[in-house]
Amino acid sequence: MLAELKIAQLRHFVWVAELKGFHAAAEKAHRTQPAISLSIRDLENKLGEGLFEKRNAKTAKTELTPFGQHFLPQAKELIAHHDRIAEDMALLVQHKTGHLRLAVVPSIASRMLPGILQRFMANTPELHLSIFDANSDRVLEMVDSRQVDFGIASLWEPQSDKTFIPVWEDRVGVVCHRNHPLACETQLNWKQLRGHRQISNGTTRLLANSDAEELIDSAQFYISNMISLIAMLDVDMGITTLPWFAFPQDNPNLKFIPLADPAVVREIGILSQAQRSLTPPAQALVDYILETEGQRKS
């Protein structure tokens, strides 16, 4: 049977791995270097495998063994899980209402969430809240790994182990510089985009299984980061497709033209694990979003 792993030893291991040395890890831990070495040796004995290669006299860096490379993300996950529980328990001891963690796509985090949270938090002033801004794939990963209570994103494919409640819809359009030849159009057919330099992004996959699917493969550039994408569009390096919520409406240099043929709509909603109940604060926020956004649509 595997011996009990101590969180302190896991922290020492992660620090040595990330800082590439026992001395630097000892300084971070406010311990002596022999104490860190002893901690790592004990952890290796418990695991039954070495974590670090033997020191190379020519380099001062400490390198992970193949087993150590595999164990590093597992150790980080164990530490993060421990810290989340410890933080939640500390809040309960202080008679706080809890800690709510959300992963949200940037378009909703910047457009819809501020107003929702301002109203919701008025009745829960002591609730601690952490918001992680990420693309839909990363939101899904964080829901999977239980790093967050729930996520707000698009679900590209149905998943039996996830609950997805649609909340918002936004239409896909073409985004270009105001001086671009297409900027004078009021709506566009996807065929009109041929011959123009395409820049794809994380939401371009919305065109899959539509008449405009060929635009996905015809893109000359792919940019995943929204800030970098807007910078490229700002200097008229090409055109892209974006949902309306993701369009930077305060940017005077850019134009959003609805894509009329095909009309592509993105659904954004609440993502959670199907077989896991939400914490009371998380469920309260979900209920509030569904109630207020339902009223707004009606």
Q: What is the pLDDT of residues 212-221, one digit of tens each?
A: 999 998 899 9
Pick from 128, 139, 130, 137: nearest CA to 104: 139
67 pLDDT exceeds 60? yes
Helix locations, 94-135, DSSP H = 106-111, 113-121
35 pLDDT exceeds 90? yes
d(CA 286, CA 150): 9
Average pLDDT value over all residues in the chain: 89
Strand pairing class (254-261; 240-243): unpaired
pLDDT bracket for residue 95 (50, 70, 90): very low
CA distances from 5 to 37, 45, 51, 79, 228 (A): 16, 11, 14, 11, 42
Pick from 164, 188, 161: nearest CA to 176: 188
The token duo for 81 is: 């899980």
Overall pTM surpassing 0.85 (yes/no): no
Higher pLDDT, 59 or 144: 144
Strand pairing class (265-273; 162-177): antiparallel
Per-residue pLDDT at 99: 82
298 pLDDT exceeds 60? no
Pick from 258, 263, 265, 270: nearest CA to 294: 270
Helix H or strand E encompassing 297: helix 280-297
Residue 51: exposed, middle, or buried by beta-carbon count in 10 A (0-12, 13-18, 19+)?
Answer: buried
Give SS3 for 247: coil
pLDDT bracket for residue 46 (50, 70, 90): very high
The owner of tokens 């918002």 is: 168
Per-residue pLDDT at 276: 87
E strands, 135-277, are 150-153, 162-177, 188-189, 199-200, 221-222, 240-243, 254-261, 265-273
pLDDT bracket for residue 54 (50, 70, 90): confident
d(CA 193, CA 86): 53
Per-residue pLDDT at 295: 61
87 pLDDT exceeds 90? no
The token duo for 168 is: 């918002």
Per-residue pLDDT at 296: 63
Phi, psi torsion values for 231, nearest 5 degrees = -60, -40
256 pLDDT exceeds 60? yes
Could you read off the pLDDT of 139-197 as tens digits, one per residue? 999 999 989 999 999 987 878 889 999 999 999 999 999 999 999 999 999 999 999 99
pLDDT bracket for residue 34 (50, 70, 90): very high
Beta bridge partners of 99: 128
Contact of 100 with 150, CB cutoff 8 Å: no
Query: What's the first-to-final CA gap in the chain, in angstroms?
Result: 59
Angle between helices 33-47 and 7-19 (to 10 degrees): 110
Average pLDDT over residues 35-59: 84
DSSP state of 205: G
Per-residue pLDDT at 79: 93
Determine what percent of the chain is predicted with pLDDT higher than 70. Answer: 93
pLDDT bracket for residue 1 (50, 70, 90): very low
d(CA 99, CA 84): 9
Residue 278 CA, chain-centre distance (Å), reads 19
Per-residue pLDDT at 60: 60
E strands, 178-264, are 188-189, 199-200, 221-222, 240-243, 254-261
Could you read off the pLDDT of 282-296 as tens digits, one per residue? 898 999 999 998 766
CA distances from 180 to 176, 189, 255 (A): 6, 16, 9
Per-residue pLDDT at 92: 56
Average pLDDT over residues 13-19: 94
Higher pLDDT, 102 or 99: 102
